[in-house]
Chain A
Amino acid sequence: MSLASDIGAARGRRKPQRALRPQREGAVLKSGIGGRYAPYLCIFPALAMSLSFIGFPLAQTAWYSLHAWDGISAPEWRGLQNYAQVLASANFQQALQNVGVLLVFFCIIPVSAGLVTAAIISRRKLPGMGFFRSVLFLPQVIALVVTGMAWRWMYSFEGVINQILTAVGLEDYTRIWLGDFDWALLAVGLVMTWVASGFSMVLFLSGIARIDSSLYDAARIDGAGPVAEFFAVTLPGVKQELGVAVTITLVGGLRAFDVVYVTTAGGPGTATTVPAFEIYVTAFRDQAVGQAAAMAVLLTAMILAAVLILRRIMGMK
């Protein structure tokens, strides 16, 4: 799934706060309306689909992870051995390390760059802003497979990146970016920065636009410069957007698959492999379903932990 779906997920994830609170405002139709069974009939289709295709398979993944299985013959109980093997495997360790680096490019850089640039851009309505917003958001709607393919050419030996480097006199730095052991991960990371930055900027621009302008006036009367104004007014004003942006990009980065699959297939060697790609390869190429499932459980646990920790930090209930 593209980042857009993560946005959705993270966006929706905020809703439960309201869900878990006692729901006085929703209790409009107390009883009798549509009969006793109407509520259950209404939720049944969605719930059944969610349980059959997400809830139940999730339990199965956990069950697989405790077995040795090639996908064909009878599964064999292994307890926690799969986890021990996966955690000790060089490929998975490399994948974890790589995903850590990619988070810098998919989360930290886009969010901070988006925040700072959005803060610099005048809070007035700029003519042509609609056009820029459309363009900045474009990477969100294009399939990551297409994005990855576009960047393959950007990075190829005669590609645009090398041409630009040559044009500014840096021809010594030209290389086949995606095939270079030292640079491939950085190159993949920049693709992810390309995907996430515009989104984060648009998110912060709309957040800043909703800050009460009297707060800025007050800060100016108090003699605040641009930097003080940023920390006193802008940053607190976009706290929610910050939480959303970090959650979405962090989860999206942890589960990165499409871009890696298309640009490098994890290579050269394992230089750009990520956990999601290891799951895919281990299960469907190596037929080690149990180990792949253990990786999937670990990845899911990381994503859940990241979301929970973020909510705590960002003060979301």
Chain B
Amino acid sequence: MRRANLNLTVSYAILGLAALAILLPLYSILVVAISPQSAPAIGLGLPADPQWSNFAAAWAQGNFGVLIKNSTVIAVSVVAVAVVFSVLSGFAFSMMEFPGKRLLFLPLLVGLVLPFEAVILPLYYNLRALGLTDSPLGVILPEVGLYVAFGTLWMRAVFAGVSREIVEAARIDGANAMQLLWIVLIPMCRPAITTLVVLFFLWSWNEFLVSLVILQDPLQRTAPAGLGAFVGEYLTNVPLLAAGAIYVALPVVIVYFFLQRYIIEGLTQGAVKG
């Protein structure tokens, strides 16, 4: 009994310390963001006179309204397109037989392993030649290209996990491929598709290198890339930078707050099932 209590104490001590270590830097952004611009609080104490107006100032000077709109347009487009493409190809690779199946699967395997670092140089020059740098499409297209690899494998595994009896029953009832997909599979796999939606949104929102390289025009940047540039320009105005950082983080933190079940389970449980 005593050993169990000790174990419990130690467990909570570890969890508490880890949680504290994670929350400390995040808390410090908040403190800095509301401290006076002339005397930024860098420590831990709350400023005596919280300057909530910093958020409005950062919004105006950092153009965060535009940045967040850009990020939203890009992330929503990437999610919509990449999820549909992934569902379709995952469906074909899990439920259909066709000549060349294995060969056609290979490029997607390549896409899984590669980081953007491997292709960012040609991406920039190709997109520049097409006139797509400084345009949302210039970021949407490569992100879709990278994410469909993961999405296809994900949906393929999800569809393959649907019980065979159900699929056979639908076929006996005369469902064709599209009916099987839309009426049977997609409704059954809604949680897994939601996970994909949330992950794609998260990745797209937080993507930095592609936006930094492809979008040079300050009015076209995404929120993280805009923040990165903001660092260079307003290095001295720490409270405004902090407020800007909060604007960048807030949308994903809100999404995380409501949909964390999908994120954590998608990334941990799911990681191991395969």
Q: Which residues of A contact B (CB under 8 A)?
A: 1-2, 4-20, 25-31, 33-34, 38-40, 42-43, 45-47, 49-58, 60-61, 64, 71, 117, 120-122, 126, 129, 131-147, 149-151, 153-154, 156, 158-160, 163, 194, 197-199, 201-203, 206-207, 240-241, 244, 251, 255, 257-258, 261-262, 275-276, 279-280, 283-284, 289, 292-293, 296-297, 299-300, 303-304, 307
Partner of B267, one of A7, A58, A158, A163: A7
Contacts A40-B98, A46-B152, A54-B111 given; does A160 touch B119 at CB 8 Å: no
Complex Cα–Cα for A26 and B29 (A): 50
How far is the CB of A127 from the nearest CB of chain B, in Å? Answer: 10
Residue from the list A43, A160, A289 in contact with B89, Cβ < 8 A: A43
Asked if B107 is an interface residue, CB under 8 A from chain A, the answer is: yes
- Say yes or no: A17 contacts B8, CB within 8 Å: no
Question: Distance in Å from the Cβ of A170 to the closest Cβ of chain B?
Answer: 16
- Bound CA–CA A163/B41 (angstroms): 12
Establish whether residues B22 and A11, one from each chain, have CB atoms under 8 Å apart when the complex forms.
no
Is there an interface contact between B145 and A49, defined as CB atoms closer than 8 Å?
Answer: yes
Interface size class of B (residues with CB under 8 A): 35 or more
Q: Is the CB of B146 within 8 A of A54?
A: yes
Complex: how many Å from CA A33 to CA B152?
20
Instruction: Judge whether A194 and B22 touch: CB under 8 Å.
Output: yes
Query: Are A284 and B213 CB-contacts (below 8 A) given A5-B203, A12-B153, A261-B228?
Result: yes
A165 and B216 alpha carbons, distance in the complex (Å): 41
A198 cross-chain contacts in B, Cβ below 8 A = 18, 22
A58 with B114: CB separation less than 8 A: yes
Is there an interface contact between B268 and A202, defined as CB atoms closer than 8 Å?
yes
Contacts of A28 in B (CB 8 A): 95, 164, 167-168, 171
User: Given A11-B271, A149-B29, A240-B272: A53 and B144 within 8 A (CB)?
Assistant: yes
Q: Is the CB of A142 within 8 A of B177?
A: no
Helix, strand, loop or mixed for chain A's interface?
Answer: helix
Stretch of B46-54, B121-129, B186-194 lying at the A interface: B121-129
Some 5 contacts from A to B, beta carbons below 8 A apart, are A43-B89, A51-B107, A54-B107, A141-B256, A149-B29
A257 near B89: Cβ-Cβ < 8 Å: no
Distance (Å) between the CB of B35 and the closest chain A CB?
A: 11
- Within 8 Å by CB of B113, from A122, A296, A307, lies A307
Separation in Å of the B21 CB from the closest CB of chain A?
A: 7
Q: Which chain B positions have C-beta within 8 A of A43?
A: 88-89, 92-93, 104, 152
How many cross-chain pairs have Cβ atoms below 8 Å apart between A and B? Answer: 378
A71-B125 contact given A34-B178, A137-B264, CB 8 Å threshold: yes
Q: A206-B269, A257-B117 are in contact. Are A121 and B11 (CB under 8 A)?
A: yes
Interface residues of B (CB under 8 A from A): 4, 7-8, 10-12, 14-15, 18-19, 21-26, 28-29, 32, 42-44, 84-86, 88-89, 91-98, 101-102, 104-105, 107-126, 141-142, 144-146, 148-154, 156-157, 160, 164, 167-168, 171, 176-178, 180, 199, 202-203, 205-209, 212-213, 223-225, 227-228, 231, 238, 241-242, 245, 248-249, 252-253, 255-256, 260, 263-264, 267-272, 274
Complex: A57 Cα to B125 Cα, angstroms: 10
Complex interface: chain B residues within 8 A of A299 (CB): 117-118
Please measure, in the bound complex, the distance between the C-alpha atom of A245 and the C-alpha atom of B141, giving whole angstroms.
29
Closest to A283 in B: B121
Complex: chain A residue closest to B267, CB-CB? A7
Shortest Cβ distance from residue A64 to the other chain B in the assembled complex, whole angstroms: 6
* Residue contact B96 to A296, C-beta cutoff 8 Å: no
- Using CB atoms, name the residue of chain A closest to B93: A43
The one of A30, A45, A126 in contact with B88, judged by C-beta atoms closer than 8 angstroms, is A45
